[in-house]
A and B are shown apart, each in its own frame.
Chain A
Amino acid sequence: MTEPAIRVVGLGKSYATAAGDFPALKGVDLAIAAGEFVAIMGPSGSGKSTFMNLLGCLDTASCGDYFLTGRNVARLTGDELAAVRNQTIGFVFQGFNLLPRMSLEDNVALPLVYAGAERAARRAAARQQLARVGLADYAASLPSRISGGQQQRVAIARALVNSPRLLLADEPTGNLDSHTSEEIMRIFCDLNREGITVVLVTHENDIAAFAQRQVRFRDGLIVSDAPTPRTADAAC
């Protein structure tokens, strides 16, 4: 069997709080194969974001191991982690997280700056990604000039600009209405069809229905892990 895109073993995370260490993630085992589309679900406070931040190499685990395409993330240096965030993973946030003073094109091109790409290459790639999410005409606009759904599409374009193999999204539709949410989900579906592994957190069943597999968290543990029942016609 080939090495899964993501494999976590006994992954745990505790936060230091005033009342002592709070275990937000209590030892999670999970493997996600390359090309899968997984929805992470569960009640508020169950540790979904904590888990995603660990997957995205934005935070470090308190215990357990995380293998990203076979590499133990805990062994990576700061610069190697930066390279992983830059090249291997695309991360989409609930709050879009675009840089407000930069044009959409510059926002999308920013990961390429850290990848060391030339200006012309950055421009071309950013424009291509913007076109892919249907925003080619807005390249020079500022984020504040466009709608939330459009901003999320720009954020996806930015996540994709370095052609990552893995796309992580923490409630990407949490701030959007249902129609816009569906547009965003269509993009994720398309990307997944192109072979990108997609892991996204959501509270909503009809969003989760787009995924092939649904993993449920409760109190820092995985309580269920099952394929999406093939009934809804909303699925990809």
Chain B
Amino acid sequence: MLSAMLGEAWHAMGANRMRTALTMLGMVIGVGSVVLMMAIGQGAQYAVAQTISTMGSNLYIVISGSTSTGGVRSGGGGGPTLTVADAEAIATLDGVLNVAPVHQGTQQIVHGPNNWSSTVVGTTPPYLEARAWTITDGYPFGESDVRSATRVALIGQTAATNLFGAEDPLGQTIRIRQSPFLVIGVLGKKGQNLDGRDQDDTVIIPLTTAQRKVFGNPFPGAVRLIMVQANSPESMPAVETSVTALLRQRHRLRDGQDNDFFLRNLAAAADSAAETTRVMSVLLGAIASVSLLVGGIGIMNIMLVSVTERTREIGIRLAIGARRKDILSQFLLEALMISVAGCLIGLVLGLGGALLVNSLTNMAIVVSGAAVLVAFGVAAGIGIFFGYYPAHRAAALDPIEALRHQ
């Protein structure tokens, strides 16, 4: 019985190929765009999650502002308000895992005939821990290097490639602002940060060396930012409060006076970036779903036309013994076949499109089995939902009325 009905549905679809193909096209476009959009959306989510995982967890950065009183800037030209001593004080607070004062800027770096502009980060050893940054080759510098301002450098992958090519940078000398630095370690790859900047285009040196030899700090002991890592996500609010209180006290800020620093929660920034991509992904899926809906309506439309056209056929079938449920399943099966076939083609095209986008734009693409299953289920559901009404109309026909048709 089922095989006979499948054969008939196949026949009916073949009887009007152009129309079947066009109806199917609606489903093809619908499913194809859902699959493609979900692949792009989930790809974006994946990319952001990847980036966030390279950032380091539970991080705050404290950025120095300029001292100001009632809107009037004070203190020689608005120098940095944070100091290395502030960083040391923060390190003693409860819930704080790592603290690293940072002085960074873009510098031209020279090795032999090559030169390259990189971000030079002057900091202390806890920086690497806070950022969960590994050394793939060589070793990191220690506290003693910071104390004695040695000229050693850790080099990021991008900077290394541009300065050394295929050469091994370890043990070589690079020049920053005329000063020679010994490359003692190569940093692990991190990729882009949330702002899209290449994190591997970096050279990390001891803070003291940076201040004395590279940036020529006019405010000894002062830093532009301090990186603070809490020991857990739960302790972050407490750390935020205690760091703020500590710095206000150390900077002798009276009640009502604005902070002379900014505390930026990187985890929150990461969350909002993740949320943004999640919303984008849902939105893309929703827009694509509309085309799936339109495809479903197309099926309903064509099935209604088909039922009207085939009224006489339905009458004949009823006259020779078809039950109402036979007629119902016949038309339902036809709708289902169109939608499922359209879905399969759409799936293939959607996946092909995703691969194409991936190869053309380097955009991350994630195709989950769940997304494919959902698209398939939805298509089958649409076939049944939009096929049911026409099929029901067909099954409800009166035999003699149907036979008199035309």
Task: List residues of chain A with CB under 8 Å of any chain B CB.
Answer: 53, 56, 58-59, 78-79, 82-83, 85-87, 91, 93, 97-99, 101-102, 110-111, 113-116, 119, 122, 158-159, 162
Contact = CB atoms under 8 A, between A and B. Distances in A.
Given A113-B4, A119-B4, A53 B321 contact: no
Contacts of A111: 320-321
Contacts of A83: 321, 323
Contact of A99 (B1, B5, B316, B325): B316
Interface of B: 1, 3-5, 11-12, 15, 312-313, 316-326, 398-400, 403
Nearest to B326: A114
A59 B319 CA distance: 10
Contact of B400 (A58, A97, A98): A58
A114 to B, nearest CB: 4
Contacts of A159: 320
B3 A114 contact: no
24 contacts: A58-B319, A58-B399, A78-B324, A79-B323, A79-B324, A79-B325, A82-B321, A82-B322, A85-B399, A86-B320, A86-B322, A87-B321, A91-B319, A91-B320, A97-B319, A99-B313, A101-B15, A102-B11, A110-B317, A111-B320, A111-B321, A114-B322, A114-B326, A119-B3
B323 A82 contact: yes
A205 B318 CA distance: 32
B317 to A, nearest CB: 7
Given A101-B15, A113-B1, A119-B3, A53 B320 contact: no
Nearest to B11: A101
B1 A116 contact: yes
Given A53-B400, A119-B4, A78 B319 contact: no
Contacts of A93: 403
Nearest to B399: A58
A78 B322 CA distance: 10
A91 B324 CA distance: 19
B400 A85 contact: no
Nearest to A158: B320
Nearest to A91: B319
A59 B315 CA distance: 12
Given A113-B4, A116-B1, A56 B319 contact: yes
Contacts of B323: 78-79, 82-83, 114
Contacts of A56: 319
Contacts of A59: 398-400
B318 A85 contact: yes
A114 B321 contact: yes
Nearest to B325: A79
8 closest A-B pairs (Cβ-Cβ)?
A86-B321, A82-B323, A59-B400, A114-B321, A111-B320, A85-B321, A58-B400, A58-B399
Contacts of A86: 320-322
Residue from the set A98, A110, A111, A114 with the largest chain B CB neighbour count within 10 Å: A114
A102 B313 CA distance: 11
A58 to B, nearest CB: 5
B289 to A, nearest CB: 36
A83 B322 CA distance: 8
A97 B316 contact: yes
A158 B317 CA distance: 12
Contacts of A162: 321
A162 B319 CA distance: 13
Residue from the set B317, B323, B398, B403 with the largest chain A CB neighbour count within 10 Å: B323
Contacts of A119: 3-4
Contacts of A102: 11
A122 B3 CA distance: 13
B316 A85 contact: no
A227 B398 CA distance: 35
Contacts of B1: 113, 116
A196 B211 CA distance: 113
Contact of B403 (A97, A110, A114, A158): A97
Given A86-B322, A158-B320, A159-B320, 4 more contacts: A59-B400, A79-B324, A85-B399, A113-B4
Contacts of B322: 82, 86, 114
A99 B318 CA distance: 12
Contacts of B319: 56, 58, 85, 91, 97
Contacts of A99: 313, 316
A63 B321 CA distance: 24
Nearest to B312: A97
Contacts of A97: 312, 316, 319, 403
A82 B317 CA distance: 10
Contacts of A110: 317, 320
A85 B318 CA distance: 8
Contacts of B318: 58, 82, 85
Nearest to B4: A113
A102 B317 CA distance: 13
Nearest to A79: B323
A136 to B, nearest CB: 21
A90 to B, nearest CB: 9
